Amino acid sequence: MKSMSVELRYSDEALIPLHRELCESPALDREIILGGQSVDGVETISSFVYGSPDAYESILAEQESVLEYDLTPDEDGFFVYLRQELGPQGLSMMDSLAQDTVVIVPPIEFRSDQTMRMTVVGHPDDLRAVSDSIPEGISIEILKIGDGVMTFETSISERQQDALRVAWDVGYFDVPRRNGIETVAAELDCAVSTASELLRRGEAHAISRLLETDL
């Protein structure tokens, strides 16, 4: 078996509605799909979303394709149970992945920069077929290929990077601090609570990566 970690970049036209809203909402950062299945055109997933559950629920309420959902708040975001009808884009992607030996290895990461990251495992010929049959409007970049089963680590998001960069530029990390979280929020054009969450999650990723490197 071979493993292939990929990044799929969606054009504006190819974005599915929920992913589009995730990219556009300043109160949401990214969604990590932990598991799911698709039966007769209906997708059922369990995921974790970094951001505001109220913002996500307002998006779900506007989607006619959503059949059922349940949100459970947690420290950095919320867990989601969701059942929805797959539209043409979703069905086309499922067809690309439906190769004889291919298995998707969670997590699947939907990011606010219009990309999705995941790992697929299978015979080399079937993995090549996945790459060759990606729907129009979606580009694919192969991040890593390996033997056996592997997965990828979720990474710092583009919004978190922007928040950390702005905070650094305005002196938020200076000692003594030159500007507070209000200035960071103003530069990012978002609420103070949103800026605070982005910085907190970005700092956690950066520190985690640093400690792993040191170890």
User: Per residue in 178-199, pLDDT tens?
Assistant: 999 999 999 988 888 888 878 8
pLDDT of residue 135: 86
Residue 183 in tokens:
């200035």
For residue 215, is pLDDT > 50?
no
Q: Which residue has the tokens 């629920």?
A: 57
Report field, pTM of the whole predicted structure over 0.75: no
Find the mean pLDDT for residues 154-164.
Answer: 76
Give the whole-angstrom CA distance, residue 57 versus residue 79: 12
Q: How large is the average pLDDT for residues 91-98? A: 74
Select the highest-mean-pLDDT range: 65-69, 89-93, 197-201: 65-69
pLDDT bin (cut points 50, 70, 90) of residue 214 is: very low
Neighbours of 62 (CB within 10 A): 9
Task: Report residue 153 as tokens.
Answer: 């680590």
Q: What is the pLDDT of residue 66?
A: 92
Report d(CA 14, CA 180) in Å as an integer: 39
What's the CA gap between 98 and 9, in Å, rounded?
20
DSSP reduced 3-state for 56: helix
Mean pLDDT calculated for residue range 45-62: 90
Residue pair 5/96 in contact (Cβ under 8 Å)? The answer is no
